[in-house]
Amino acid sequence: MQRPATTQASTEATPPASQVPAPPHAPATSPPSSEPTEPASPPTDTDSARNRRRAILDVSVASPSPSIPEVVLGIDLGTSHARVAVFHEGTAQLIPLPGTDETELPALVAVDGQDELLVGAAAQVESLRAPRRAAPGLMRLLGLRARSPRLRNLAPQLPFPVAADPSGDAAVELGGRLVAPTLFTALLLRELKHAATTFVGRKATRAVICAPTHFTDRQRAALRDAATMAGLDAQRILTAPAAAALAHGHGRGMARKRVLVVDLGGGGLGVCVVQVTGDDLEVITTGGDPLVGGLDFDARIAEALASDLAEQGIPRPTHSLDWGPLRTAAESAKVALSERQQADITLSSGGTVPPLSRERLEALTADLAQRVTSVVREVLDSNALSPQGLDAVLLVGGQGRTPLVRRRLEESLGVPVRDDVDARGAAALGAALLGHGLLLAESGKPAASVSEVLTAPIGVAERGGTLRRVLERTTRLPAGKTLVLPATPGPLELALFQGTSPLAGENEYLGRLSLNVERAGEVELHFALSADGTLSLEATLPGVRRQPVSLSLEDLDDAAREALVARSPLQGEPEARPSGLLSGLKKLFGRR
């Protein structure tokens, strides 16, 4: 499979969502009953699948009203919940789901008895009826290969078994069919798009979408692909903690204030230090741990509940999906204990367990809270930043409301955590503010801006398996760098990786670059990063003008990948092997 190294945001280069063919592993889906479906007259299975995809991803909207200005949606795709906001009538505001007062869409997927995909509230209902046909946390797989080093570390913590789709990407099997994270993400985006369209009364197709700090270029490309499938033009992929900082600073008239944002959501921890001046934001550094999130706190509580039930003779669940009801009860109790000292436990299975106290909850999750504070200190220390040099500390994300996490963070830093922040909605609100800023900039008016940095190094594998870094972590975006390679006539192949390890194979594989060199000399490989970290490549071959080149994204087995690395024109240095310092840097991104 070939895909350009960068995914263009322009809709002119992308077919409409209804024309995007379903991948061979994608399950058939049906739209909610409130939306029209196309007549089923499929002469072939392919046509039938295309019609179903068209029905689920196309959204019927009211005719645009000339009195309502264009909007750019701000979207936060959390691992547990998704939200959409818009700058409307002079302020950024979260949008309620149609017919409700709820502003959070559950990020849950299920397959019903008719083998159709369900997301959101409908998936929640199905998960109670048939736990093995539903899975939370699928966003953690977005853009990861089934053989991803990160996924190997993450897999034991996931509430579902991971499967490989035909292209080698990570997926989950529910009800006998593979569910692709990209399709699931597209369905969530489609629901949020529909909610926004209903709210503002006109078609909304442009969006700023938040991403975790640990997302690689490949994961950001998967997010853009999902947006395209949902009929959205992703104007910018914005780091979620930076979006939260923008929401915090908006309208405060802040002048060169340094803000630490700790984003502890359902699927991971993101840390970001930014400098805010008015409505302009400059990211100084980022870090985090994709292995610590709200789902992991829930898992600790669920384990304790299972032990309580086992004492009553009720066996522990044997399949990872059978833990769904216990995890749901655990999450409800955890949320309640953020406000109270004790919470009753309601189990859908009918079993009974003693009430859960905040004291027991904190004992169960003490090491997770400690991991949060350790990562925050590591991010500050790696950039020679002092807590005393911070003007504000923000704790956002659903899990950030936990009293223990807030307390441990304040004890570690010695500075207070602000309590005037919308922990759950800040990222979506900040994305909406940037979206409005993009509209203002297009008309030549002063607007909010965000300057970001690269969150993980990008490089090329050397012979011997080490990584030659081309673009370093915290490189200011947009950016460009040129790598000069010796070349002889014939094929030249390179393997690109992204991550903090000095060993290429311990990082995320981005793809293979293949060039045909006709004359001896030097090859110049030009790396370019956009304002949101999207990678594009160009090459200058001996006697040939500079031209764009693309990565082959097809995954390779171990033997093929080792052979590719062995053919690298770059010779690794012996001292590039891991050291204590490099091992410490790996911790910034959750690698232990």
Tens of pLDDT, residue by residue over 95-138, are 999 999 999 999 999 999 899 999 999 999 999 889 999 999 99
> What's the token pair of residue 448?
């909010």
Hey, what domains does the chain have and what are their CATH numbers?
Answer: 249-292+368-422 (3.30.420.40), 295-366 (3.90.640.10), 458-587 (2.60.34.10)
- Higher-scoring residue by pLDDT: 142, 25: 142
Q: What would the mean pLDDT of 524-549 be, rounded to a whole number?
A: 96
Total count of residues recorded for the chain = 592
Q: What would the mean pLDDT of 146-151 be, rounded to a whole number?
A: 95
Task: Report the SS3 class of residue 54.
Answer: helix
Q: How confident is the model at residue 68 (pLDDT cuts 50, 70, 90)?
A: low
Alpha-carbon dihedral angle through residues 589, 423, 338, 389, given to the nearest 10 degrees: 60
In tens, the pLDDT along 32-63 reads 333 333 333 333 333 433 344 434 454 444 44
In tens, the pLDDT along 566-578 reads 999 999 875 545 5
Q: Residue 327 to residues 119, 316, 321: CA-CA distances in angstroms? A: 18, 13, 10
The pLDDT value recorded for residue 574 is: 58
In angstroms, rounded to a whole number, what is the distance separating the alpha carbons of residues 566 and 495?
A: 10
Q: How confident is the model at residue 1 (pLDDT cuts 50, 70, 90)?
A: very low
End-to-end CA distance of the chain: 32
State the pTM of this model: 0.85
In angstroms, rounded to a whole number, what is the distance separating the alpha carbons of residues 550 and 565?
A: 18
Which residues, at least 6 apart from 468, have a Cβ–Cβ distance to it below 8 Å? 459, 460, 461, 462, 483, 570, 572
In angstroms, rounded to a whole number, what is the distance separating the alpha carbons of residues 434 and 258?
A: 19
Asked if the model's pLDDT at residue 323 lies above 60, the reply is yes
Q: How many CB atoms lie within 10 A of CB 47?
A: 12
Average pLDDT over the chain reads: 87
The pLDDT value recorded for residue 34 is: 35
**H or E segment and range at residue 195:** helix 181-200
Task: Report the SS3 class of residue 428.
Answer: helix
Q: How confident is the model at residue 69 (pLDDT cuts 50, 70, 90)?
A: confident
In angstroms, rounded to a whole number, what is the distance separating the alpha carbons of residues 169 and 180?
A: 8
In angstroms, rounded to a whole number, what is the distance separating the alpha carbons of residues 300 and 304?
A: 6
Q: What would the mean pLDDT of 465-489 be, rounded to a whole number?
A: 96
The pLDDT value recorded for residue 348 is: 74
Asked if the model's pLDDT at residue 316 lies above 50, the reply is yes
Chain centre distance of CA 505:
22
Asked if the model's pLDDT at residue 579 lies above 70, the reply is no
Q: What one-character DSSP code corresponds to residue 185? A: H
Q: Residue 216 to residues 40, 144, 239, 292, 496: CA-CA distances in angstroms? A: 39, 9, 11, 17, 12
Q: What would the mean pLDDT of 145-162 be, rounded to a whole number?
A: 93
The pLDDT value recorded for residue 184 is: 97
